[in-house]
């Protein structure tokens, strides 16, 4: 009997110790939408969330991936922003179908890469997104493969992207895949869309100059400038200054919108999925106000000390400080803790240069479940405040002798 009590006790201890911890945002968002998030752009910290891991139809939010891969191609020298593109007859005809497109194009008119990006982002032009995918990858199927590989590289697996524009297969006309049902459409979670948006804003911030516009010119069929209006109601918000980012409308699941704005002086990304078009702005602003009223900014910039071998006795303890302070959003009165300082080189020895990175430290909330980040948890990187010289040879020999005796 005693054996079984010990066994049961050990089992229960192991059960509770090794249960995976569920991460939680700093604030639980109160929304009418099916899902939503607020994320700090600088750290990837999840500030507010509601059902952020379930996948929903994302419609034209899919174009964010087209834009990322287009910008990547520009960065790699494959194409240029001012490069003139002539779309195929297939794309031109598709863009003139008012049932599925809103910015008509022709085979005779040339469009720059930047104009196509603007049309895809501001007016959510399906033809422009398809044209960019063709330009960069040669075919839609090649684009789908690249988009899924991109997502997988960010830890977003089994996304099964099958549309550059975000349209469902039944609306894709000549671009429909023969082996897919008409109802198949791109789906991602609010968390995954937040990560896509975060990477786009971090890696290619120039895009924000496009998405911040309420309107822009695009050549009409005659080549004359024609005004296209933004589909993003957040850009017209008077309570917060939004710089985009993108919308997506599904016929059966409602309105999606990604925003880029500032909160407490820091850039944040907002995501709302599958909402009523009439409530999407209110839901977004409500999330932001919840975070604003329920959190404080906390900055960590601690000074630490570490031991350096082969340094003069009086200088063997070196003062280090973070390369840059770390700022996080924290619930009011919530405590932050710092893990043990880890020296990056266990054989660290003098001489050390001023500003040399010598240690790292992870920061976490006392309530560990609040440590929710889209990717890696931020780390404080410590550097030396001053140069550290080498001790004279006799002292080094004496220190080594003491170390030998200590381990005798």
**Residues in Cβ contact with 225 at an 8 Å cutoff, skipping those fewer than 6 apart:** 217, 218, 219
- Known catalytic residue at 60: yes
Catalytic residue among 49, 60, 118, 197: 60
46-50 and 27-28 as β-strands: parallel, antiparallel, unpaired?
parallel
Gap between the Cα atoms of 258 and 377, Å rounded: 23
Helix (H, G, I), strand (E, B) or coil at 215: strand
* Separation of alpha carbons 266 and 288, rounded Å: 12
Dihedral-angle region of residue 105 (phi above 0 means left; psi in -120 to 50 means alpha; beta otherwise): beta
∠ CA 214-293-41, rounded to 5°: 50
Helix/strand/coil for 247 = strand
Phi, psi of 292 (to 5 degrees): -60, -45
What is the spatial distance between Cα 103 and Cα 96, in angstroms, rounded to a whole number? 7
Residue 179's Cβ-count burial label (10 Å; 0-12, 13-18, 19+) is: exposed
Whether 63 sits among the annotated catalytic residues: the reply is: yes
| Residue tagged active-site, from 49, 62, 118, 124 | 124
Distances (CA, A) of 7 to 4, 15, 187, 233, 335: 5, 12, 46, 61, 37
Structure tokens that stand for 167 in this block: 């349209």
Segment holding 380, helix H or strand E:
strand 379-384
> How many CB atoms are located within 10 Å of the residue 156 CB?
18
Let me know if 316 is a catalytic residue.
Answer: no
Which residue out of 63, 163, 165, 189 is catalytically annotated? 63
Q: Which of 328, 325, 324 is nearest to 366 (CA)?
A: 328
Q: What are the two backbone dihedrals, phi and then psi, of residue 274, each rounded to the nearest 5 degrees?
A: 55, 65
Question: Considering only CA atoms, which of 41, 42, 105, 85 is closest in space to residue 260?
Answer: 41
| Gap between the Cα atoms of 269 and 47, Å rounded | 10
Rounded to the nearest 10 degrees, what angle do helices 126-137 and 63-75 cross at? Answer: 40
Instruction: Report the interhelical angle of 126-137 vs 140-153 (nearest 10°).
Output: 90
The reply, when asked if residue 241 is annotated as ligand binding, is no
Q: Which residues are annotated as a binding site for substrate?
A: 246
Q: Which residues are annotated as a binding site?
A: 246
Q: Which residues are known to be catalytic?
A: 60, 63, 124
């Amino acid at each position: 009997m005693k054996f079984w009590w010990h066994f049961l006790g050990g089992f229960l201890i192991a059960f509770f110790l090794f249960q995976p911890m569920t991460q939680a945002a700093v604030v639980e968002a109160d929304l009418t939408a099916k899902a939503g998030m607020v994320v700090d752009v600088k750290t990837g910290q999840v500030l507010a969330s509601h059902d952020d891991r379930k996948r929903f139809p994302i419609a034209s939010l899919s174009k964010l991936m087209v834009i990322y891969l287009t910008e990547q191609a520009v960065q790699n020298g494959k194409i240029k922003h001012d490069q003139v593109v002539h779309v195929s007859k297939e794309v031109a005809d598709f863009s003139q179908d008012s049932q599925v497109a809103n910015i008509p194009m022709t085979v005779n008119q040339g469009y720059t890469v930047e104009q196509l990006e603007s049309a895809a982002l501001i007016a959510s032009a399906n033809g422009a997104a398809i044209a960019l995918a063709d330009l960069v990858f040669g075919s839609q199927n090649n684009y789908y493969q690249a988009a899924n590989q991109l997502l997988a590289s960010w830890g977003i697996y089994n996304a099964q992207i099958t549309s550059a524009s975000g349209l469902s297969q039944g609306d894709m006309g000549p671009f429909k895949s023969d082996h897919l049902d008409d109802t198949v459409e791109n789906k991602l979670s609010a968390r995954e869309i937040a990560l896509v948006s975060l990477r786009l804003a971090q890696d290619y911030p120039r895009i924000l100059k496009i998405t911040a516009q309420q309107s822009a010119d695009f050549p009409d069929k005659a080549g004359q400038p024609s005004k296209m209006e933004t589909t993003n109601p957040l850009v017209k918000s008077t309570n917060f200054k939004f710089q985009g980012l993108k919308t997506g409308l599904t016929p059966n699941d409602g309105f999606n919108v990604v925003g880029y704005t500032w909160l407490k002086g820091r850039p944040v990304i907002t995501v709302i999925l599958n909402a009523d078009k009439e409530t999407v702005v209110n839901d977004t602003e409500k999330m932001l106000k919840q975070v604003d009223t329920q959190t404080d900014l906390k900055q960590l910039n601690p000074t630490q000390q570490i031991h350096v071998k082969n340094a003069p006795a009086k200088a063997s303890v070196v003062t280090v400080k973070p390369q840059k302070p770390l700022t996080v959003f924290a619930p009011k009165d919530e405590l932050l803790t710092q893990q043990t300082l880890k020296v990056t080189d266990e054989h660290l020895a003098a001489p050390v240069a001023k500003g040399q990175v010598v240690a790292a430290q992870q920061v976490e909330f006392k309530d560990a479940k609040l440590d929710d980040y889209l990717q890696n948890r931020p780390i404080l990187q410590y550097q030396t405040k001053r140069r550290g010289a080498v001790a004279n040879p006799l002292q080094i020999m004496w220190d080594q002798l003491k170390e030998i005796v200590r381990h005798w």
